[in-house]
Amino acid sequence: MALLTVLCYPDPRLHKVAKPVAQVDVRIKKIVADMAQTMYDAPGVGLAATQVDIHERIVVIDVSDNQDELMVFINPELIWASPEKKSWREGCLSVPEYYDEVDRPAVIRVKALDINGKEFEIEADGLLSVCLQHEMDHLQGKVFVEYLSMLKRNRISLKMKKRAKELVGER
């Protein structure tokens, strides 16, 4: 397993739409393992392949208290969303140190393939629902800050660009 580099907003690669995985094979399983290690190391509760510059429809999530219940979603597809909305304070590994409220459907149903290529469906609410929607947005090239006002997005973008320059200067 290897740690992958997480792209930071406003990197344009975060806006690429991910392609479906054609076959769950050894290569995909290695990507999943590397993504899981990267997510746990960050630490985070979810990671989409887009965030590590792999533009395939792969998501890893672990919302358990002990971070020992890895969930893998390959080619996830939203098949139902409740009309009821819920607001959550979201953060993102691609937008470090920034959190804001986002309204999303409270309950969703998702169809995907697991790590062995077997299709499954899951109904999710609470943090899992938010995390799944957030990561699936990444696969569509959308970052959570795009739900915020233009003023907030611009402020975040400037802050992230400044942070990137400071990090380069430290090397």
What does residue 139 show for φ and ψ, rounded to 5 degrees? -65, -20
Which band of pLDDT confidence, cut at 50, 70 and 90, is reported for residue 104? very high
Active site positions, annotated: 135
Q: What is the DSSP letter of 158?
A: H
Rounded to whole angstroms, how far apart are CA atoms 42 and 127? 18
How does 65-82 read in b/e, with b if 16+ C-beta sit within 10 Å? eeeeebbbbbbbeeeebe
Output the pLDDT for position 105: 98
Rounded to whole angstroms, how far apart are CA atoms 129 and 104? 9
pTM strictly above 0.85: yes
Superfamily of domain 12-170: Peptide deformylase (3.90.45.10)
Q: For residue 80, what is the enclosing H or E element?
A: strand 71-81
User: What is the domain partition of the chain in residue ranges?
Assistant: 12-170
Which band of pLDDT confidence, cut at 50, 70 and 90, is reported for residue 171? low
Q: pLDDT, tens digit, for every residue of 40-69? A: 999 999 999 999 999 999 999 999 999 999
- The response to whether 92 counts as a known ligand-binding position is yes
Angle at 123 between CA 111 and CA 127, to 5 degrees: 110
- The response to whether 8 counts as a known ligand-binding position is no
